[in-house]
Structure 1
Amino acid sequence: MLHFGSATALLADPFREVYMTLMDEAKANGQFVSFDPNYRGDLWTGQQEEFITLSRAGISKADLVKVSDEELQLITSEADRDAALDMLHEWGAGAVAVTLGKDGTLISSPDSRLLIPSITVKSIDSTGAGDAFIGALLCRISQLAHPADFTRSAELQQEFVTFANRVGAMVCTKVGAIAALPTLDEVQEFAG
């Protein structure tokens, strides 16, 4: 399993070339590939079209794509969320997790779409919540004998995204991206 989050890695070579080569090699070797375009407007000023092109290339290789609602619209140029998700699947994405903040996470695969509710918390600092979410989701997927099963199972998607939403919510209750990361015991206690 390999995860790619592109905030700076796609900006220039040699990083961009290495990044895309590793994605190709992972896909060719049958590894589970996760991709988070992680758009940062201030980094891509004047290069938005290039970001979109590179993101589409990454999406075409990914078993799992994590995007915000804004990134989904930017990358597809499609305001209709369902049509945009259909495009990502047509490009090759296995499962797509669209993070919607307090409105939850929409998880989409070619056969199903589920809206998983957010966990209500008093948010102090949302820094790192998206990274915590994808980290928690990938942690759960990595425990499967066949990680690709996640892309085909609405039951696994419901369970794993609920867990990841919990972790993301917990991060929002503290200050600092790293300091706010909970332990597994803390996540299980929070769920109880």
Structure 2
Amino acid sequence: HPKIKVCERLCSTEDCMPGTGTYLRHGYIFASLAGYVLRKNQGEELPVISVVRETETQLLPDVGAIVTCKVTSINPRFAKVHILYVGSTPLKDRFRGLKCHVLNCSLQVETYKSFRPGDIVLAKVISLGDVQSNYLLTTAENELGVVVAHSEAGAQMVPISWCEMQCPCTHAKEFRKVARVQPEYLQA
């Protein structure tokens, strides 16, 4: 397959639906990154057209996918993360995600009370990447949130509620949006 350039027109929206690595303009789908075209048929709908960076088909985060990521920084509105795994499959390239923390429509919790840099988090993809490979993620479900966090003393913290973890050494408590996951998911 020939390599596609950034901004190259791929097809009409009558023929395909836009996927990862693409954008819409005036009824046509364009490549938002340089790479190779990938088409996926999903049932009776139109095929989804995506652009991937390598010759081999690489796994890309998709809407609805559960991802494991590491928090790199936080600000009052969101946490920046690197997506490490899609499901249980490690990614070859690092993808950046902008995680929006939403518990439900009526309850907003500050980002610093939910995540800290270095935390390992389970999240769900709610929006596909753009030119910079930014994905919008959520931890709104009970099963999503922080799964591994370390205290200032360097010990792995233990969840004590849905919103707090505790250091086993110093017994200091810290706020986190704790994921309610089964122990077997934490063994890896």
Q: Which has the higher strand share?
A: 2
TM-score range, shorter-chain basis? under 0.3
Q: Which has the higher helix share?
A: 1
The TM-score with structure 1 as length reference comes to 0.25
Structure 1 or 2, whichever has the larger Rg, is: 2
